[in-house]
């Protein structure tokens, strides 16, 4: 599904995040008649809005069965190399007490983010609607399955390092990051599907992805036990419609 043009609807229903900016800057086909408005955006082949519909004749989504993606791509995501910083954080030294810098206190574990990688979404529910008629129809998607995503890494790490990673991500990258996130049931989004077209919808949890390392600062101010890894933490949930 990575080759589709996708748009993310926030659970709050205030804004659709899509394309490359919150302003929904993107190229759309000339035959899309519906205007680009704050509560919705044209999508190929339909138009989606973050506001639920009250139309009783709206087409309901059909559940998709099978394995769901844990790292589905999100639109507009870029990879950013973070500015380098000293491998030994200054806050772990006591320069006044030990001016020679040959003692850094008890051994201390720390983490460092070197790259903010592209965010992804763990899909918890997937659906679609197919319009086989000759006229545009309104559709409604409702999340019917739930799931939980927790902070994790590409290598096995203990609870101490998970706590350190979460704190580092919240401060340096994403303040909304959480240790665990369970998606909601009954969250709706709606829109229009063109004649003889299909619209797909995925509901899930967005994951903040970073790359970096864990390490230990020893009493002699040497750094060791360096392990590089990919780390993710959940930070939001919502609809992706294409």
SS3 string, the chain, reads CCCCCCEEEECCCCCEEECCECCCCCCCCCCCCCCCECCEEECCCEEEECCCCCCCCCEECEECCCCCCCCEECCCCCCEECCCCCCCCHHHCCCCCCCCCCCCCCCEEEEEEEEECCCEEEEEEEEEEEECCCCCEEEEEECCCCCEEECEECCCCCHHHHHHHHHHHHHHCCCCCCCEEECCCCCEEEEEECCCEEEEEEEEEEEEEEEEEEEEECCCCCEEEEEEEEEEEEEEEEEEEC
| Count of domains for the chain | 1
pLDDT, one tens digit per residue, over 168-205 is 999 999 999 999 999 999 999 999 999 999 999 999 99
Residue 2 lies in a domain: no
Q: What is the mean pLDDT of the chain?
A: 79
Residue 29 lies in a domain: yes
Mean pLDDT of 199-219: 95
> What's the pTM?
0.76
Q: Which domain holds residue 186?
A: 7-241
Going by pLDDT thresholds of 50, 70 and 90, the confidence category of residue 29 is: very low
pLDDT at 221: 83
pLDDT, one tens digit per residue, over 105-142 is 889 999 999 999 999 999 999 999 999 999 999 999 99
pLDDT at 49: 75
Residue 45 lies in a domain: yes
Residue 1 lies in a domain: no
């Amino acid at each position: 599904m990575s080759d589709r043009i996708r748009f993310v609807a926030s659970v709050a229903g205030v804004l659709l995040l899509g394309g490359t900016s919150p302003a929904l800057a993107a190229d759309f086909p000339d035959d899309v008649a519906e205007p680009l408005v704050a509560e919705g955006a044209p999508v190929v082949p339909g138009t989606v809005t973050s506001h639920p519909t009250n139309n009783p004749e709206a087409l309901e989504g059909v559940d998709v069965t099978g394995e769901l993606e844990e790292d589905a791509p999100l639109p507009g995501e870029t990879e950013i190399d973070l500015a380098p910083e000293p491998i030994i954080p200054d806050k772990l030294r006591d320069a006044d007490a030990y001016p020679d810098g040959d003692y850094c206190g008890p051994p201390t574990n720390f983490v460092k983010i070197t790259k903010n990688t592209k965010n992804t979404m763990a899909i918890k529910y997937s659906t679609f609607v197919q319009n086989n008629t000759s006229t545009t129809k309104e559709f409604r998607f409702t999340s019917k399955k739930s799931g939980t995503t927790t902070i994790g890494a590409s290598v096995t790490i203990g609870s101490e390092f998970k706590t350190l990673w979460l704190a580092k991500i919240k401060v340096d990258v994403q303040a909304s990051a959480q240790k665990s996130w369970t998606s909601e049931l009954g969250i709706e989004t709606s829109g229009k599907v063109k004649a003889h077209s299909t619209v797909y919808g995925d509901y899930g949890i967005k994951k903040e992805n970073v790359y970096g390392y864990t390490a230990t600062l020893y009493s002699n101010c040497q750094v060791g036990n360096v392990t590089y890894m990919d780390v993710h933490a959940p930070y939001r949930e919502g609809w992706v419609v294409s």
